[in-house]
């Protein structure tokens, strides 16, 4: 049945934890392989998850990724506590970034995260409250 959830996963994310950056997405990718999803679908989900995970690591204090896998889609909810996004239109432009210089020196913060998620997701919505945090909802159809 399409609306019956197969599995629900929850991965915590901590600010500036570049050592573990990408681990949540990697664990999700492993589960998707075990469920025998098509490789191009796994790739799209992993890209969306990784970009969202790194945004939390770079910009927020902490957060989590909740992945709900259904027969016909994977839904990701990424929620964080952090400074929030002041100008949603601006951050959706490829190349725009508010990442500080020390993050860019590490090779992150190029401003491609949200626009990349938008490219690979079937549905993508972001709600943010300045001074409180951000919640993103991503759907990738199988």
pLDDT at 102: 77
Cβ proximity of 50 and 21 under 8 Å: no
Rounded distance, CA 121 to CA 74, Å? 10
pLDDT score at 91: 84
Domain 5-141 fold is Heat Shock Protein 90 (3.30.565)
User: Taking residues 62-88, what's their average pLDDT?
Assistant: 96
Span 30-49, pLDDT tens digits: 999 999 999 999 999 999 99
Q: Are 75 and 139 in contact (CB under 8 A)?
A: yes
Give the mean model confidence (pLDDT) for residues 60-80: 97
Let me know if 83 is exposed, middle or buried by CB neighbors in 10 A (0-12, 13-18, 19+).
middle
Greater confidence (2 vs 97) lies with 97
**Mean pLDDT, all residues of the chain:** 91
Distance CA 142, CA 138 (A): 13
């Amino acid at each position: 049945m399409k609306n019956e959830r197969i599995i629900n996963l929850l991965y915590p994310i901590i600010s500036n934890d570049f050592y573990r950056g990408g681990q949540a997405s990697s664990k999700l990718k492993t589960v998707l392989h075990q469920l025998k999803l098509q490789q191009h679908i796994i790739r799209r989900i992993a890209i969306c998850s990784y970009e969202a995970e790194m945004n939390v690591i770079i910009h927020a204090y902490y957060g989590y990724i909740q992945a709900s896998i259904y027969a016909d889609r994977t839904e990701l909810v990424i929620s964080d506590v952090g400074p929030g996004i002041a100008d949603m239109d601006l951050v959706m432009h490829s190349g725009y970034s508010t990442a500080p210089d020390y993050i860019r020196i590490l090779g992150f913060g190029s401003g491609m995260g949200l626009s990349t998620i938008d490219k690979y997701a079937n549905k993508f919505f972001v709600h943010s409250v300045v001074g409180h945090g951000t919640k993103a909802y991503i759907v990738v159809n199988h």
